[in-house]
């Protein structure tokens, strides 16, 4: 996991703190991605970025220009995240709870007391030279990677992200988090070992969301649900495919069990009950599901399906409960 961080020269002096803050807004999106990797929460990340800018504004008079403004903001954001994470529980997906795959015919139960991992809307990519596009590479915000980060301590997360995603030197990381270079190297070694234990295989073969392969799979996935042809879904998934849908704590593996789950627990009754809008999330293809409300006659926000697509099919789907999520993705709440 590595991301290049080459950026244009940044002016280090401003007429006022307000001018600095206005100029620093160019880094908002990449700082959001950074805080999201650290916390696994879009809502928390937005608050932490806001707090980062507030802290930077208050302490700008003490900025000595020994690093770029961008690096300085990352240091503040990292420590803001570390403070926020102190004492907090990790944000899992159902697969991260340690339970075996569930029976698709059994009852399902919501667990809102668990602070679940959340998805991240992808940034617009009009300008590929924008450093936020580089720093927020698809690999570094994929759900599998962010979910794996949740198994690390907060300081391990910080070290791993700063070293391997942003490619900071060990001494720079140590200065940022108040640790020696030796301590940083030790934290990184333990973080890598822990990551290998919870994520033994890398998703190097995951298709980019704008690839023809991913677009074709996504279109066929949507069509199968909209036409209520659940049996067609069997051919969509890989043999080891996983389907999970927080806040329900169960997870399901294999095409047959996934289709049985859909037939058993999906509230749709037939063709036309479900409609989708396609989008992207976490550098992956995604589809926003709208379920028919028979009383209002409208299709209303229901779930956001984030897909991992490989050459042999859809290998993983996380269907997040909408719960105000669509607005964050710039999607309508009803059709």
pLDDT value at residue 62 = 75
The pLDDT confidence band at residue 20, using thresholds 50, 70 and 90, is: confident
Closest CA to 35 of 151, 158, 137, 130: 158
Distance CA 266, CA 324 (A): 20
Task: Say if residue 130's pLDDT is above 90.
Answer: no
- Please state the pTM of the whole predicted model: 0.89
Do residues 270 and 279 lie in contact, with contact meaning Cβ atoms separated by under 8 Å?
no
Arithmetic mean of pLDDT, 134-143: 75
Mean pLDDT of the residues in the chain: 89
pLDDT value at residue 16 = 67
- Please state, as a whole number, how many other Cβ atoms lie within 10 Å of the Cβ of residue 46: 15
Question: What domains are there in the chain, each with its CATH number?
Answer: 17-198 (no CATH), 212-328 (3.10.450.50)
**Residues counted in the chain:** 335
Task: Say if residue 65's pLDDT is above 70.
Answer: no
């Amino acid at each position: 996991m590595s991301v290049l961080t080459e950026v244009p020269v940044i002016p280090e002096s401003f007429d006022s703190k307000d001018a600095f803050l206005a100029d620093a807004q160019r880094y908002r999106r990449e700082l959001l991605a950074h805080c999201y990797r650290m916390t696994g929460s879009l809502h928390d990340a937005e608050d932490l970025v806001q707090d980062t800018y507030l802290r930077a504004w208050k302490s700008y008079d003490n900025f000595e220009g020994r690093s770029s403004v961008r690096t300085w903001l990352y240091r503040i954001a990292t420590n803001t995240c570390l403070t926020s994470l102190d004492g907090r529980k990790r944000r899992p997906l159902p697969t991260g709870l340690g339970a075996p795959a569930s029976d698709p015919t059994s009852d399902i139960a919501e667990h809102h007391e668990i602070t679940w991992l959340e998805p991240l809307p992808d940034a617009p990519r009009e300008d590929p030279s924008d450093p936020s596009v580089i720093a927020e590479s698809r690999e570094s915000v994929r759900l599998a990677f962010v979910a794996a980060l949740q198994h690390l301590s907060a300081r391990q997360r910080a070290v791993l992200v700063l070293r391997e995603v942003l490619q900071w030197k060990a001494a720079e990381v140590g200065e940022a988090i108040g640790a020696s270079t030796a301590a940083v190297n030790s934290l990184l070694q333990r973080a890598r070992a822990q990551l290998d234990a919870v994520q033994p295989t890398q998703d190097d073969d995951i298709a980019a969301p704008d690839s023809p392969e991913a677009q074709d799979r996504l279109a066929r996935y949507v069509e199968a649900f909209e036409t209520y042809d659940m049996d067609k879904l069997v051919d969509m998934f890989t043999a080891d495919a996983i389907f999970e849908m927080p806040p329900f704590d169960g997870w399901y593996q294999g095409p047959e069990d996934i289709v049985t789950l859909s037939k058993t627990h999906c509230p749709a009754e037939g063709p036309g009950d479900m409609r989708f809008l396609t989008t992207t999330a976490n550098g992956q293809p995604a589809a926003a599901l709208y379920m028919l409300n028979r009383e209002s006659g409208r299709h209303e926000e229901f779930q956001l399906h984030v897909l991992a697509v490989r050459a042999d099919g859809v290998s993983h789907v996380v269907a997040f409960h909408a719960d105000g999520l669509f607005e964050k993705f710039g999607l309508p709440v009803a059709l």
